Chain A
């Protein structure tokens, strides 16, 4: 893993076995998430839309997933609901990414199967803290 920004190789090694799937239709957003997460030592796989989420999740078997709510083809909520129907992901933490607090209706997010949600912009500190607490 060649992350020029990662200056925490010890930590990176420690988390190497932990796989995280990230889904966002924006390249830069995926790059940001990947940079932060890989910098923290997680193994990351990306998906660009809801269908890719389901395909790659079954292959990659992530320990945690971060799905943007506004995904093409299959939106975040639908993808989360579909994932929850797969026995392997019944208890996997799934985090919703949302563009604004005002887009969030916590009840709907919970009902769709999400474990938690994060409001953009995602800073490194907040993301790391959230992931760490969910993987404990």
Chain B
């Protein structure tokens, strides 16, 4: 196969300079080709180089003599030979390839980047007879581009670095600001006790400038009285190496430049450095807090003192009341006792007329009632004043019940009410014998009072856990449900009192309730009108 382009194209500068002969069209063409900056290479369809202009020599480094006749693949960048073959195939099929960027190898082995355009060479008959290749050296541009890109990256990195540096500076600044303006003085002291760092608050708190503080011993901030031991404390702290409050439980004081002292709280934390253990101290001025605490304490004390005065006054008044009650009741009872005694003595006379006897009976009954009233009022006032002493002991319930029953029997007999003791009374209770008798007497007396003739009052007991439940049951009038709790109130009396029964004081059950509760028990009633009442109270079990 013959190549369309002449095998050799004479370089332009090889022609004599002085008298350039006029060029024909072909020569012009050759001159143009040769003067092109681009490599213009002709190849056979098999890829053998057939023409090589000066541009090709400049770009690839090979003289046309070295290149012509060789396969184009000798210019391939190692490993990319296949790609060249692929291009050739496409052109062989009549395709054009424009401005394709490829990498080729310079004679020196240098990597060159080319913008490659390939086009088929077609003869007059339309047959593809060869390949024309124009290659522009893009290496410099590429390198420049790469450099620009690289620079951009570098620039961006630089900008970022700068930004982060600025942010860091800003952060440090803010942090510094935070430390400087903290409400607490913050110091760092080295192993020798010299101040290394001090925040602004330290200056205001202690009255020293930072210049005066830095390098100076931290001892200047310690009151003279405590300086002697301070170095030892520092050493001990550094050895322990544990963050902790200083002088826990003690009232610490710090010293200002002007010699005045103020109360502080100090937290210490060790910082390990090559030069030994440094200590960070956070010092809080607690003057204000101490003042408030002091004021609160003074206030509390004055309140306590006032309270004590008032309590003493209340106790005194209570004492006075008790004394008054004791005295008045003594004064009231003394004449009453003799009235009762003389009335009884008079009753022994057998020369009294029936009328005299009746009058005497009234005197006796009313004075007994008056005496009961006085005794009840006195008892209740004593209980309420807390002046009632109990003599608690283990008691045979049977004994006390029998005594109480014997006391009430004459009255019950007079009303034809039977009093019965159940067989369950052989138990021991822990109580004051006189008060237990009083409780039983009151309940039995109520039972006898509100039970009609022919009725019965019964005393029963049952052990329930650690308590004994004692029940006084009657077959009397009963109590309406709405009155069952109110009957234990002072001076409360059920709405109806049977005709012919003596009036009570309205204090009996109130006294019973107080006495039962004082002895660790409780009292309550179960009742239905017309069906009788069951008064229950509990007392702790006694020992045998």
- Residues in B with CB closer than 8 Å to A29 are 334, 337-338, 341
Residue of A nearest to B334 (CB): A26
- Residues in B with CB closer than 8 Å to A101 are 434
Q: Does B379 contact A (CB under 8 A)?
A: yes
Q: Does B330 contact A (CB under 8 A)?
A: yes
- Residues in A with CB closer than 8 Å to B348 are 5, 124
Flag if B388 contacts A102 (CB, 8 Å): yes
Give which listed residue, B342, B375, B391, contacts A100 with CB less than 8 A: B375
Q: Does B329 contact A (CB under 8 A)?
A: yes
Residue of B nearest to A102 (CB): B379
- Residues in A with CB closer than 8 Å to B434 are 101-102, 104
For A81-103 the 0/1 string (1 means CB < 8 A from B) is 00000000000000000011110
CA of A121 to CA of B335, assembled, Å: 10
CA of A99 to CA of B338, assembled, Å: 11
Q: Does B191 contact A (CB under 8 A)?
A: no
- Residues in A with CB closer than 8 Å to B338 are 26, 28-29, 31-32, 121
For B409-447 the 0/1 string (1 means CB < 8 A from A) is 000000000000000000000000010000000000000
- Residues in B with CB closer than 8 Å to A120 are 333-334, 337, 341
CA of A70 to CA of B330, assembled, Å: 10
For B315-355 the 0/1 string (1 means CB < 8 A from A) is 00000000000000110011111101110110011100000
Flag if B341 contacts A99 (CB, 8 Å): no
Flag if A99 contacts B337 (CB, 8 Å): yes
Flag if A99 contacts B382 (CB, 8 Å): no
- Residues in A with CB closer than 8 Å to B17 are none
Contact-size category for B: 20 to 34
Within 8 A of B (CB), among A1-42: 5, 7, 26, 28-29, 31-32, 35-36, 39
Flag if A123 contacts B344 (CB, 8 Å): yes
Q: Does B371 contact A (CB under 8 A)?
A: yes
Flag if A102 contacts B378 (CB, 8 Å): yes
- Residues in A with CB closer than 8 Å to B337 are 29, 99, 120-122
Min C-beta distance of B439 to chain A, whole Å: 13
CA of A69 to CA of B341, assembled, Å: 18
Give which listed residue, A26, A36, A107, A121, contacts B340 with CB less than 8 A: A121
- Residues in B with CB closer than 8 Å to A132 are none
CA of A5 to CA of B336, assembled, Å: 21
Give which listed residue, B335, B341, B371, B389, contacts A122 with CB less than 8 A: B341
Residue of B nearest to A28 (CB): B338
Within 8 A of A (CB), among B341-381: 341-342, 344-345, 348-350, 371, 375, 378-379
CA of A122 to CA of B348, assembled, Å: 14
Residue of B nearest to A36 (CB): B345
Within 8 A of B (CB), among A21-74: 26, 28-29, 31-32, 35-36, 39, 70
Flag if A121 contacts B341 (CB, 8 Å): yes
Flag if B349 contacts A5 (CB, 8 Å): yes
Min C-beta distance of A46 to chain B, whole Å: 14
Q: Does A135 contact B (CB under 8 A)?
A: no
- Residues in B with CB closer than 8 Å to A5 are 345, 348-349
- Residues in B with CB closer than 8 Å to A99 are 329-330, 333-334, 337
- Residues in B with CB closer than 8 Å to A102 are 375, 378-379, 382, 388, 434
Min C-beta distance of A39 to chain B, whole Å: 8
Residue of B nearest to A30 (CB): B338
Residue of B nearest to A104 (CB): B434
Min C-beta distance of B392 to chain A, whole Å: 13
**With A29-B338, A105-B391 as contacts: A100 and B329 at CB distance below 8 Å:** yes
Min C-beta distance of A31 to chain B, whole Å: 8
Residue of B nearest to A122 (CB): B341
- Residues in B with CB closer than 8 Å to A121 are 336-338, 340-341, 344, 371
B-binding residues in A (CB < 8 A): 5, 7, 26, 28-29, 31-32, 35-36, 39, 70, 99-102, 104-107, 120-125
Task: Given contact pairs A28-B338, A31-B338, A105-B389, enumerate 20 new A-B contacts (beta carbons under 8 Å).
Answer: A5-B349, A29-B337, A32-B341, A32-B345, A99-B329, A99-B334, A100-B329, A100-B333, A101-B434, A102-B375, A102-B379, A102-B388, A104-B434, A106-B391, A121-B336, A121-B338, A121-B341, A121-B371, A123-B344, A125-B344
Residue pairs across A and B with Cβ atoms less than 8 A apart, 19 shown, are A5-B345, A5-B349, A26-B335, A26-B338, A28-B335, A28-B342, A29-B341, A32-B338, A32-B345, A99-B333, A99-B337, A100-B378, A105-B391, A120-B333, A122-B341, A123-B340, A123-B341, A123-B344, A124-B345
